[in-house]
Amino acid sequence: MFSTRLFSTHSQKQWSVLSANTVAFAGNFAVWTLFSILGIQIKQDLGLTDTQFGVLIATPILTGSLSRLPLGILTDIFGGRRVFTILMLCIVPAIYSINLATAYWHYLVIGLFVGLAGGSFAVGIAYTSAWFDKDRQGTAMGIFGAGNAGAAITNLAAPLLIVAYGWESVPTIYAVSMLVIIILFWIFTFEDPAHSDKSVARKRLCLKTQLAPLSEIRVWRFGLYYYFVFGGFVALALWLPKYYIGQFDVDLKTASFLTLLFTLPSGLIRALGGWFSDKYGARTINWWVFWICLVCLFFLSYPPTTMIIHGIEEDIAVGIELGMWPFTILVFIVGMAMGFGKASVYKIINDYYPTQMGSVGGMVGVLGGLGGFTLPIMFGVVSDFTGVRSSCFMLLYAVLAACMILMYYAIKHEEQKQSTKNISNEQAAITN
């Protein structure tokens, strides 16, 4: 085989797999967010309401989230190379069939299948971790996670293709591009070492073993962390253009560019977050991520306010409001922190469940993806209820506060447990 001759050492195979895996994930992430661009034209053509439009763009996010657990389990059992390839082959006809849709329900059904592209994360993260030693897994998974930048690819490429060739050309171009990615992925990847011996792999990775950790509260706590760092990232990526237009009265082009300052760095910085997690510890990085986001979200949550100071001779009005560029800087910092957090959460998972990354990582991915689906809906609900535009950041602040409280008490519990264990060991040593 060509790839076997070209990459003969284990190290060469590791980096070949990681590179191909990352490119494939970026392509799948670009497909996963495709309806956010195409949906604008579909809305105009079919005369959809805003609610129908919201359901349309959310459908792929939903299925991409729910598919992560079963895809992660399949990856643990059968190996990432095969599962990833079959997944992408299933997505190609779904992408192309967008051109064949003529009714609203057609697009919804197609969106369900296109959304499977979002499940590629669970496959790729387990496949990546299987190739690297524990001291480098955080870095490797961080590099792979940088494929989140695929959302920025769609934000940049899809509008240009629509202007140049019309929106109907985009699904065809994306389908052909995915076929090219599949071919390159198969050429430059290999069966991971854990699945080289099929009989041993299947015996070790039985379904019951993979599902066992899902009964542990720790897994759901990790899921809440990811709900914030990943779900919050996806939700803000969808919500910020509307926020910029309403709050700062800019046009759609400017709003999209400013949103790109949030999405692109947050995706790319994930690789550095993985390296920091390896070097300084994933929990330490996660804790700092939460504190940085807490400070930034406090200022982002504060609504434009006018205070009246009753002076000696007259009242003095003092306005408190974030300008567009201070707001953008704070959002940029939150995005960077979330990029670090997305890497550190999965490094924590790998520290606790190194042989069950598919099931545990898949479940955590489900919860994070559901954040991207539910948070934008809740943003709209709290905005309508309070009449305050910055209420979306207040909601994120509340989610983050829950994460930090749970993490604090979890650390305290583990410290007490370790202290009790040390005392018992010392008493046993004295007795012996």
* Partners of 394 in the β-ladder: none
Token pair in block for residue 344: 């550190």
Print burial letters for 83-121: b (CB count within 10 Å at least 16), e (below 16): bbbebbeebbebbbbbeebeeeeebeebbbbbbbbbbbb
Residue 4 has pLDDT above 60, yes or no: no
Task: Return the minimum-mean-pLDDT range out of 125-129, 156-160, 188-192, 251-255.
Answer: 251-255
Name the 3-class secondary structure at 307.
Answer: strand
**What's at 82, amino acid-wise?**
R
- CA 73 – CA 88 distance, rounded (Å): 17
Delineate the domains of the chain, giving CATH numbers in brackets.
2-420 (1.20.1250.20)
Residue 177 has pLDDT above 90, yes or no: yes
More confident residue, 291 or 417: 291
* Partners of 316 in the β-ladder: 309
Q: So what's the pLDDT on residue 428?
A: 59
Secondary structure string (H, E, C) spanning 308-365:
EEECCCCEEEEEECCCHHHHHHHHHHHHHHHHHHHHHHHHHHHHHCCCCHHHHHHHHH
Q: So what's the pLDDT on residue 48?
A: 77
More confident residue, 329 or 421: 329
Tell me the pTM.
0.74
Q: So what's the pLDDT on residue 279?
A: 83
- CA 98 – CA 72 distance, rounded (Å): 27
Q: So what's the pLDDT on residue 92?
A: 95
* The CA-based dihedral angle spanning residues 280, 355, 91, 177, taken in that order and rounded to the nearest 10 degrees: 50
